[in-house]
């Protein structure tokens, strides 16, 4: 008893010192933000307006698992100095009161000026948006559009650790105030990050319609206006058509495969004309070409009857690597946010596998090509140069995720190469549950992080085509649901339907042909 009193805590009360009651231990709960939950810290359940979790390190993005009714939103007083950028969006944009109230409840749909890269926004002089853009969204200023596009970039295109500067600002440096490009960025940004309300959805559709009209007019005429150089016209067309393709994944109609395919075919024509010209690419040009390479590689498999040749990816990669050399950049995860983790050889073989899958059964030269690809994957070793120079924790963590994604692609490619070489006897592939589950587990680890890109979609499509057990179905559905952040609800909706159909058909028939798999991919209107 004496020892207990010796080490007891006391507190001062009116009647004198008395043993203090033990304080209740603070436990984390399931309603806190994800960074606090990962660190097992108590979260105040307050959503910071700047999108940074104040209970965590400065590198953690404030992300929430679900909407909590009693969650508070911290109001942040804005600095009215020029360095702080524009005033708060709900004040300067003149948004109707109903939208302001909704914005207060969901304040993370647009970044604040103080969350941008230092001097990136403060250095901008006031710029008037084109009349057609202001007509659709009169409350939208140039600064607000840059903020909104950067929120979209970090949520959908690539995280801050992957590519920090604003891609829209890079585009405007090269293309000027192209109304089509600004309409496309506004449409995609509103569709992906604005609150889900009829008002914002209507604005997104109007911006999308104007972007389509301007792009069609630009393709027909050849230039946007008589004052714009013909070389610059290609760049704004490329930026606009790629953004319109992404919009279809997030639009209110949730995945119009006809429009998405039409945008991709238009991109084939625009990029083909642009690459034939001997012009030094800008940094924005390289980002556009990289994004186009990714979308071409992703959609070669789900698109039946692709008009592209077998060596088309090799042609694109030659131009891309030449541009990297001119800018003294390297083909790695640091300089290439979307395809740097794969490398040119693996990306080229991935495209060729997808192309050969539509030419079954393989004969003569195509069969030799399939055998060579299978041999390539059997002898492939991981290039350590892609993951060198990890400087800090966040950078090394991103490199770890890139390696996991690379290995998931490698497993998917090996499984796909076996299907292509033996399309009528894919039971051998289905028996490789260990490799399939290993690839699914790697992809699951990648998709648990907030920062992911559309690069996860190709291996997910391959693994979805090979689902044969309820566990594999459940895991792939969970991964697809997590990928909605970067892929969009339209793409995920079609992927989930494909997974259900593949599992149902394989459960009833036991073994299905590659042609049946591709038929289900087409019938479910899958596009990536």
Please state the rounded mean pLDDT for residues 375-390: 66
pLDDT at 518 over 80: yes
pLDDT of 151: 87
Beta pairing class for 46-47 and 72-73? parallel
Q: Which of 136, 222, 152, 234 is nearest to 191 (CA)?
A: 152
Q: 408 pLDDT exceeds 50?
A: yes
SS3 call for 279: coil
Query: 234-249 pLDDT, tens per residue?
Result: 889 999 999 999 998 8
- Structure tokens given for 156: 């959908």
What residues have CB less than 8 Å from 56, skipping those under 6 apart? Answer: 33, 35, 36, 39, 41, 62
* Residues facing 61 on adjacent strands: 52
**Does residue 241 contact residue 292 with C-beta atoms inside 8 Å?**
no
pLDDT in tens, 135-147: 999 888 888 888 8
pLDDT in tens, 193-225: 888 788 888 899 999 999 999 988 888 775 444
Stated pTM of the model: 0.75
Structure tokens at 419: 């299907």
- Joined together, the tokens standing for residue 383 give 């290039």
Handedness of CA 43, 44, 47, 52 (dihedral sign): negative
pLDDT tens per residue across span 155-180:
888 876 667 778 888 888 777 778 89
Burial class (CB in 10 A: 0-12, 13-18, 19+), 516: middle
Domain-wise residue ranges, the chain: 2-28, 109-279, 302-528
CA 11, chain centre distance (Å): 55
Residues with Cβ within 8 Å of 330's Cβ and at least 6 positions away in sequence, in order, are 324
**pLDDT of res. 96:** 37
Whether residue 229 is predicted with pLDDT greater than 50 in this model: the reply is no
Is the predicted pLDDT of residue 15 greater than 90, yes or no?
Answer: no
Q: Is 494 exposed, middle or buried (0-12, 13-18, 19+ CB in 10 A)?
A: buried
Q: Does 389 or 511 have the greater pLDDT score? A: 511
DSSP 195: -
Res 200: pLDDT: 86
How confident is the model over 256-289, as pLDDT tens digits?
788 888 888 889 999 988 888 777 788 899 999 9
Residues 76-103 have a mean pLDDT of 35
Residue in the structure block whose two tokens are 């559309």:
454
């Amino acid at each position: 008893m004496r020892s207990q009193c010796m080490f007891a805590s006391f507190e001062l009360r009116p009647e004198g010192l008395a043993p203090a009651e033990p304080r209740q231990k603070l436990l984390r709960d399931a309603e806190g933000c994800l960074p606090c939950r990962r660190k097992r810290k108590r979260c105040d359940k307050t959503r910071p307006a700047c999108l940074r979790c104040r209970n965590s390190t400065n590198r953690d993005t404030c992300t929430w698992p679900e909407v909590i009714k009693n969650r508070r939103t911290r109001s942040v007083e804005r600095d009215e100095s020029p360095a702080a950028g524009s005033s708060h969006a709900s004040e300067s944009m003149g948004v109707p009161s109903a939208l302001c109230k909704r914005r207060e409840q969901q304040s993370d749909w647009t970044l604040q000026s103080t969350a941008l890269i230092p001097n990136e926004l403060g250095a901008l002089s006031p710029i008037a948006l084109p009349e057609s853009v202001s007509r659709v969204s009169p409350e939208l200023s140039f600064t607000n559009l840059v903020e909104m596009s950067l929120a979209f970039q970090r949520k959908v295109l690539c995280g801050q650790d992957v590519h920090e500067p604003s891609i829209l600002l890079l585009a405007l440096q090269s293309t000027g105030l192209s109304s089509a490009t600004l309409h496309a960025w506004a449409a995609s940004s509103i569709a992906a990050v604005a609150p889900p309300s009829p008002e914002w959805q209507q604005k997104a559709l109007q911006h999308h319609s104007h972007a389509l009209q301007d792009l069609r007019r630009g393709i027909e005429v050849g230039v946007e206006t008589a004052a714009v150089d013909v070389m610059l016209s290609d760049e704004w067309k490329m930026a606009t058509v790629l953004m319109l393709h992404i919009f279809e994944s997030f639009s209110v109609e949730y995945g119009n495969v006809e429009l998405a395919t039409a945008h991709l075919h238009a991109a084939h024509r625009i990029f083909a004309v642009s690459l034939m010209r001997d012009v030094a690419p800008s940094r924005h040009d390289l980002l556009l070409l990289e994004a186009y390479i990714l979308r071409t590689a992703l959609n070669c498999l789900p698109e039946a009857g692709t008009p592209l040749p077998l060596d088309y990816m090799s042609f694109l990669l030659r131009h891309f690597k030449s541009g990297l050399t001119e800018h003294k950049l390297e083909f790695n995860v640091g300089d290439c946010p979307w395809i740097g983790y794969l490398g040119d050889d693996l990306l080229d073989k991935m495209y060729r596998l997808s192309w050969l899958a539509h030419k079954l059964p393989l004969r003569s030269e195509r069969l030799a090509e399939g055998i060579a690809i299978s041999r390539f994957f059997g002898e492939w070793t991981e290039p350590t140069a892609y993951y060198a120079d990890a400087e800090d924790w966040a950078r090394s963590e991103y490199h770890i995720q890139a390696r996991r994604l690379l290995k998931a692609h490698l497993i998917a490619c090996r499984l796909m190469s076996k299907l292509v070489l033996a399309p009528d006897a894919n039971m051998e592939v289905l028996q490789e549950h260990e490799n399939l589950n290993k690839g699914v587990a790697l992809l699951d680890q990648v998709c648990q992080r907030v920062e992911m890109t559309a690069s996860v979609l190709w291996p997910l499509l391959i693994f979805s085509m090979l689902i044969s057990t309820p566990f594999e179905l459940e895991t792939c559905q969970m991964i697809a649901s997590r990928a909605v952040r970067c892929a969009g609800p339209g793409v995920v909706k079609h992927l989930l339907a494909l997974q259900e159909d593949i599992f149902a058909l394989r459960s009833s028939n036991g073994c299905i042909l590659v042609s049946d798999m591709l038929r289900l991919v087409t019938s479910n209107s899958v596009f990536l």
